A and B are shown apart, each in its own frame.
Chain A
Amino acid sequence: MRAETLKGHLDFLLLAILSDEPAHGYRIIEELKRRSAGAFDLPEGTVYPALHRLEQSGLLASSWASGSGRRRRVYRLTARGRRGLAGARRDWRGFTRAVEAVVT
């Protein structure tokens, strides 16, 4: 999938992945690839600016976690992020239903 196409939906995808459990950046990117069966394969570094922006907007929160002698930034969804995700899911389902109805 083209990176530009994916960029428009990146926030939604990141919120959806973090709705299951908190995760660090690498894990989020791996999960994005795994769930999309490799279709969502962005330059990995471009996910971090989005994570920082979503945190700045209050949709995500993050904290340092230590383990195996390393520090990692772990992201989790905030209450506002959950509400945002619910709204984005509604919009997406409405959109895909409408597209399906037209193209099939």
Chain B
Amino acid sequence: MNEGYLRELDAELSVVGIRGSRRRRILVETADHLRESGDPARFGEPRLIAARFADELATNGARRTALFSFLALAPAGIGYALLVGLNRPGPDITSARTLSVGLAAALVVALAPQISLAAGLLAIALAWRLRAAQVAPAAAISLLHRRVAVALGAGAATLAGVAVYAVEYSRGLPDWWTTLAFAVTATAIVPVAVAAAALGRTARLRAATSGPGGDVFDDLGPLLDRVPLRLRGRPWRFCLLFAAAVAVVAFVGGGLDEGPRNAVAEFAAICFGFAILGRFLGLRR
């Protein structure tokens, strides 16, 4: 009788995405338990047990992956900031070996880090909101996975963009800068790849608990409610306010020469990003 139960549990664990050593361990523990109790009925329905494993491990795994991914992106962020700080004034934007490739790389290097940082911070905010949950709604776990995936993807794109930028503009850059750019890319991509693999493992688990995934107003509610502009439930108002704040910072940071151009570019980029990725990242429903 126990063999039949174990076969059924094995199949159900497979259905919810629990594989490899975790699944083998669960089956050995269950077999041992059933030898003692001799009563599979008391253990619970295989489908429900498998679902419970998936829900609990997916919730915990998603939270941990969010934190780990944020930390894994730190070397890329530090390396990027260092390279940007040491590349002033940069080479003439039209001096690329192949202009279209050089411009594309420059655009990626300018935008992708901001997307990565925003998605990473959103992932941390959601992981914090779910910190006490034994089992989170599947929709919230899925949203957390998407935010982490975008943060890691944009982080990897940044590093790739830096390497391409270094090649394309090598004639106008010091040799030590291009060497440093390749070293940063080669080093910082490793933790990003490890985090992506961890995300892949945890995203395989199929949580099934119903409930809303929430949005940025659920994640940052206590913070946003302090802003006296009734932002909750008004995503575009939130977007415009945030874009305006970043534009002011860009304006001040860029000075009279570059400030106005940078401010307009930042404002437009944030609004564009919000329109494209807003729903995917749970910024609006």
**From residue 30 to 80 of chain A, which have CB atoms closer than 8 A to chain B?**
43-46, 48-50, 52-53, 56-57, 70-73
Docked CA distance A70–B37 (Å): 15
Is chain B's interface secondary structure helix, strand, loop, or mixed overall? helix
Cβ of B26 under 8 Å from chain A: yes
Our pick among B30, B49, B61 for the contact of A46 (Cβ within 8 Å) is B49
Complex contact B134–A7 (CB within 8 A) = yes
Contacts of B64 in A (CB 8 A): 56
Our pick among B28, B42, B53, B56 for the contact of A73 (Cβ within 8 Å) is B28
Known: A26-B32, A43-B43. A52 touches B37 (CB 8 A): no
Docked CA distance A43–B46 (Å): 11
Cβ of A25 under 8 Å from chain B: yes
**From residue 36 to 70 of chain B, which have CB atoms closer than 8 A to chain A?**
36-37, 42-44, 48-49, 52-53, 55-57, 59-61, 64
Complex contact A53–B29 (CB within 8 A) = no
Complex contact B56–A49 (CB within 8 A) = yes
Docked CA distance A24–B28 (Å): 12
Contacts of B230 in A (CB 8 A): none
Contacts of A72 in B (CB 8 A): 29, 32
Which residues of A line the B interface, CB within 8 A? 7, 10-11, 24-26, 29, 43-46, 48-50, 52-53, 56-57, 70-73
Which residues of B line the A interface, CB within 8 A? 22, 25-26, 28-30, 32-33, 35-37, 42-44, 48-49, 52-53, 55-57, 59-61, 64, 134
- Given known contacts A26-B37, A45-B52, A49-B52, what 12 new A-B pairs fall within 8 Å (CB)? A26-B32, A43-B44, A45-B30, A45-B44, A45-B48, A46-B48, A48-B29, A49-B49, A56-B64, A71-B28, A72-B29, A73-B29
